[in-house]
Structure 1
């Protein structure tokens, strides 16, 4: 087995590695919600209903949330180069299908294929940093990768709205095809081809049950957003998901080498990171989606103009993420996570209070603050979790962490979407007494609900302390 130092030196881990990882994660995460603002145009072209259009987003996110933990586990057996190249090729193929799609059903199929490829990139990027960079540079490396994910999340609506309005929605997918193919030679040159050794067999049935449970949770939540929780497709999917996850837990407790080692969750930092990542992502994605809708529906902007509102958040994330990774190594995870969550909560309240006028500036300020707070939280959490996990559990552990994160990405818009629909139908005034508008009252209530979720997350994150080292007893002389 190649030593880490040799692998790092031979593969040129450093600027070349981080450039590859940041570009790859940027392009794949951007794909997640770049079509959101173009859904009306797609629906008009194909004559699709709102429920049918939801599959353009759901199909991608479904494969994303299911695939991340699976790729994390497989990375313990297959080389990073082979997995990364496979992912880029599948991503390019799916994007090509989307660009040429003659019908909505072909477009959805292409998005599903795209999601299968894209799911590998976030988790493999973090694993590459932890395996190929020396310990003193991992904080910065994780910060750079997190910057790519943060920019991609914030840039999705911006790229989709701007490029889609200018060149049409198929151009979005042509761009993704070109970029993913350009990244292939770099992946072949930079990443090592050695597979990890000394790892037991993979529990395939356990992985299937976990993927089925995660996928059905996401599907049920998105169906609730479109049709409401009373719809059979919503509650039925959630019920089957619970059954699958219960069976997964039962199998985990009974096999010798389960898909997810139970010892992962004995560590308080990792256990807390899982829950905090899920809750923080619910708020972050909810903010990105509903600020995008707010500036179009309430402030009267076009999708292209609305995209400009999201750009400052992406720039801030790009600038701050590497610094956050370095800072986390110095001050520890807990203070930075609590600070980031506080920022998210305060700016959620800001959005709830000041977005009732005609100006989109408060919306831009609010999403900027949420973006800075979120990247502070996630960069720190990923670094803390990676530092806590033993080497043989890094792949599966980070896979579960990022899978939960993107499960939150699907859950947030669905839950808050139900709230927006209910509040718009009621026509009632905003709950926030300081909100000075009326047309956007439903959005004010959503941002207020996000702030409430952050309060819960702060309580959870306050327990994020490493276990105390055992005291050293000095014998009396």
Structure 2
């Protein structure tokens, strides 16, 4: 059956579809970290240690990293409209559980249910766009999606802080619950049926391969998170990382021996696609680390309020929102590699600038965050465009599931590993950056580490073969 858009599919339906996808991605991005400013309120109301309360955030990241590739692979078997709607409804159910949660454990469970539904949104949005819009029109739509991700990621803490302080933390989940129902209705009205592509042989869903991938990614992220709390030498960390390595080896064997493995071997031979996945991982590692640790810096060192700290992120979010649609359209007309190189250079300069001025006037950090926002706008939609273009129609579902999973794995790994580095370097009186002379050397060090991660992504980008999407 054909995946292509029906010729009678109206322009009004197209516009509504874009609105539905943009709103859903915006909601998902906000939902991930909207609770960060109200964790103290949650701890006071429901009890629990700081480490236990942190699972209100890390539990979502863990489930997202596991579930996103599953939704991508399922889109090769199920009709996407139904799958997307089911995901939104699961998110709404999780939000309802969170809003009514009488204890911290129920709240964490509800957040994980949210993550299980939320995981459908980023990957299925890209799958729908890639199968409905031709290559010359995808970039602009992907740019809108990227802009919404940027707004939501940067605006989530601001939204959570203001609404949570005004109406209470439960109100955040009632809002997401209501929006979820609205989006589910909008999807039913606007989304055309996208039928999985027929193949010459019957399709087999590799459940074992999917479980092995989920265990590998989930335990890796869990191990990194535990290392941030207890140290890399702790027993829980070692056990988690060891099992993750074991399941990864089993996944390799399964991929090599199964008739239709969860990860098609042809993807592993697609160098352009693999490089786009690595670029996505490292760039999100850097971007999300900045979003997490800049507020901590200005609260701890500059003694700003949590609300003021959230506003420091506003220039970056505004830059992503304004530039992403423009960059997305550009990626349809110029080589995405050029945009990626420009974005990673801007990101490297911005993080190095922040390494030099960490602890100085917050306006300087805000300038760095603005540069990070510009860079993310230059990176995100071109990387998506390259990945989609590198895949055949039959590979888009699983390929973009793995791609989007790499984004969230990068975000989770970045926050945890940079957090561990911050803890280790906190006791040192001098910075690794020889030009740093201020009073926050540990923050200078983590921004320098993020610069190094950006350089790795830039090296990979230079290795991309020239291509015009």
What interval of TM-score do these two structures reach, taking the shorter chain for normalisation? over 0.9
Residues 466, 203 of structure 1: alpha-carbon distance in 2 compared, 3 angstrom cutoff: farther
Mapping 1:68-87, distance limit 5 Å: 68-87=68-87
Distance in structure 1 (CA, Å) of the matches to 2:7 and 2:25: 22
The answer to whether residue 422 in structure 2 is matched with residue 431 in structure 1 is no
- Residue 437 of structure 1: how far off its partner (Å): 2.5
Residues 77, 275 of structure 1: alpha-carbon distance in 2 compared, 3 angstrom cutoff: same
Counterpart of 2:116 in structure 1 is: 116
- Residue 38 of structure 1: how far off its partner (Å): 2.0
Residues 118, 452 of structure 1: alpha-carbon distance in 2 compared, 3 angstrom cutoff: same
RMSD (CA atoms): 1.8
Distance in structure 1 (CA, Å) of the matches to 2:166 and 2:224: 32
- Unpaired stretches in structure 2, ≥5 consecutive residues: none
Paired positions, count: 465
1:225 to 224, 228, 234: 228
Counterpart of 1:459 in structure 2 is: 459
Distance in structure 1 (CA, Å) of the matches to 2:7 and 2:228: 47
- Residue 364 of structure 1: how far off its partner (Å): 1.6
- Residue 159 of structure 1: how far off its partner (Å): 1.7
Mean CA deviation greater in 188-197 or 93-102: 188-197
- Residue 265 of structure 1: how far off its partner (Å): 2.4
- Residue 194 of structure 1: how far off its partner (Å): 4.8
The answer to whether residue 178 in structure 2 is matched with residue 175 in structure 1 is no
Mapping 1:4-403, distance limit 5 Å: 4-6=4-6, 9=9, 14-199=14-199, 200-357=203-360, 359-403=361-405
- Residue 429 of structure 1: how far off its partner (Å): 2.5
1:11–1:192: 8 Å Cα contact kept in structure 2?
A: no
Distance in structure 1 (CA, Å) of the matches to 2:383 and 2:234: 36
- Unpaired stretches in structure 1, ≥5 consecutive residues: 469-477
Distance in structure 1 (CA, Å) of the matches to 2:240 and 2:254: 21
The answer to whether residue 446 in structure 2 is matched with residue 450 in structure 1 is no
Residues 193, 37 of structure 1: alpha-carbon distance in 2 compared, 3 angstrom cutoff: same
1:165–1:304: 8 Å Cα contact kept in structure 2?
A: no
1:193-235 Cα distance to aligned partner (Å, 9 max, x none): 3531424121111111101111111111111111111122212
1:2-54 Cα distance to aligned partner (Å, 9 max, x none): 55131772585532111111110110121112222222222233331122122
- Residue 267 of structure 1: how far off its partner (Å): 2.1
- Residue 415 of structure 1: how far off its partner (Å): 0.5
- Residue 187 of structure 1: how far off its partner (Å): 0.4
Residues 430, 288 of structure 1: alpha-carbon distance in 2 compared, 3 angstrom cutoff: same
Calculate the TM-score normalised by the size of structure 2. Answer: 0.95
SS of alignment partner, residue 9 of structure 1: coil
2:410 to 408, 411, 435: 408
Distance in structure 1 (CA, Å) of the matches to 2:35 and 2:171: 11
